[in-house]
């Protein structure tokens, strides 16, 4: 079972097909301003040993999301699949998978149940951690 495909982020604010909860939360301009300015971790607070992890700049956010996913109730019938999160910027864990709809991006493993609820895991983590 694959993840639900969402439109491009800028379309969340469109007049005809926009998502009301997103449009009511903030303007598109404010969202993109925050997105550009967002800093998850201060470089000086991270040791050189921690910087060897390729995703060290977003690791605290990633860990918080994983903790939240692990607290969710899991159904009896689950499936493990892989998917690509589209990303074309500079990143050490970016991959190219020519058979995917979005061939360039970050490969993640997804734990999905019958309702389609996904819990994503990085390619660099073990499935047994789920």
- 114-129 residue pLDDT tens: 776 554 444 444 334 4
Residues 56, 104, 7, CA angle at the centre, nearest 5°? 95
Q: How confident is the model at residue 29 (pLDDT cuts 50, 70, 90)?
A: very high
Quick one: pLDDT band at residue 27, thresholds 50, 70, 90? very high
Average pLDDT, the chain: 78
Query: How many Å is the Cα radius of gyration of the chain?
Result: 17
- pLDDT tens-place string over residues 82-111: 888 888 777 778 888 888 788 888 888 887
Cβ 105 vs Cβ 3: under 8 Å: no
Q: DSSP label at 121?
A: E
Q: What is the mean pLDDT of residues 63-91?
A: 82
| Stronger pLDDT, 64 or 17, i.e. the higher one | 64
- Tell me the C-alpha distance between 125 and 21, whole Å: 33
Pair 111, 119: CB distance under 8 Å: yes
Angle at 8 between CA 32 and CA 105, to 5 degrees: 95
**Does residue 13 sit in helix, strand or coil?**
helix
Q: What would the mean pLDDT of 37-58 be, rounded to a whole number?
A: 85
pTM for the model? 0.51
Distance, C-alpha 85 to centroid of its chain: 7
What is the per-residue pLDDT for 3?
52
Q: What is the pLDDT of residue 125?
A: 41
- Annotated domain spans of the chain: 39-129
Q: Looking at 2-125, list the stretches that DSSP marks H as alpha helix, in order from N- to C-terminal side.
A: 20-25, 28-37, 59-71
Confidence at residue 88, expressed as pLDDT on a 0 to 100 scale: 78
Per-residue pLDDT at 6: 55
């Amino acid at each position: 079972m694959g993840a639900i495909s969402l439109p491009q982020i800028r379309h969340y604010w469109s007049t005809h097909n926009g998502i009301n909860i997103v449009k009511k939360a903030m303007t598109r301009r404010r969202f993109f301003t925050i997105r550009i300015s967002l800093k998850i971790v201060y470089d000086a607070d991270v040791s050189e040993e921690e910087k060897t992890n390729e995703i060290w700049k977003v690791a605290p956010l990633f860990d918080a999301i994983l903790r939240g996913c692990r607290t969710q109730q899991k159904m009896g019938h689950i499936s493990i699949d892989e998917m690509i999160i589209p990303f074309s910027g500079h990143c050490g864990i970016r991959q190219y998978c020519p058979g995917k709809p979005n061939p360039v991006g970050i490969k993640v493993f997804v734990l999905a149940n019958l309702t389609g609820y996904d819990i994503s895991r990085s390619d660099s983590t073990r499935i047994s951690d789920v």
